[in-house]
Amino acid sequence: MDCQEWALERIMKRRFIVDLGSHLPVLMKVVSMTQGPILELGAGAFSTTYLHWVCYLTNRRLVTYESSSSWYKFAQRFYDKNFHDIRCINDWDSIDISEPWSIAFVDHGPPERRRIELYRLHHSDYVVIHDASDKDIRKYRIGTALSKFKYYYRYELASPMTTIVSNKHDLSNFTVKP
């Protein structure tokens, strides 16, 4: 492999890492706009790390639910009895997510399950959904659930796309600066 091929391979690997965090601009913006508790459905290298540290600064309540044993093991390192609760679950239907969340971040598996949680989270101030391109919306059949929210914004500057919905806050002026 010559020097150019090596450099391109490194760039492509970096791009892959950036793509995994494509939800962060929306998440960062909505965190800065709110103060209440945050729900994370599905732990992730980017979301759990970011949410943990931003909540740490103000002792803001954060609850992470995870059904994958490997992701739960990853998330456990962030447990803090003062603000960050991390729960491993076997059945998404069994969790109580009726609390009035400022933010609910939806990025759990199986992805087909997200539609159900969207219906269950209509009371949240904001719901942020990762992997929300038109293709994802059709594939996971979440369009009907998204239409139950009054306000809708899709961030398309990074892929996979991220959508934010709300029944309480107008998103027509919501922007994330590139």
Mean pLDDT of 120-136: 95
CATH class of the domain whose range is 23-166: alpha beta
pLDDT value at 3 more than 50: no
Give bridge partners of residue 57 from the DSSP assignment: none
Dihedral angle of Cα 16, 143, 113, 44, to the nearest 10 degrees: 30
| CB-CB contact of 154 with 163 (8 Å) | yes
Residue percentage of the chain with pLDDT more than 70:
89
Which pLDDT tens digit goes with each residue over 41-79? 999 999 999 999 999 999 999 999 999 999 999 999 999
Q: From its phi and psi, is residue 42 left (phi > 0), alpha (psi between -120 and 50) or beta?
A: left
Position 177 scores a pLDDT of: 79
pTM: 0.89
Q: Say yes or no to pLDDT of 8 above 80.
A: no
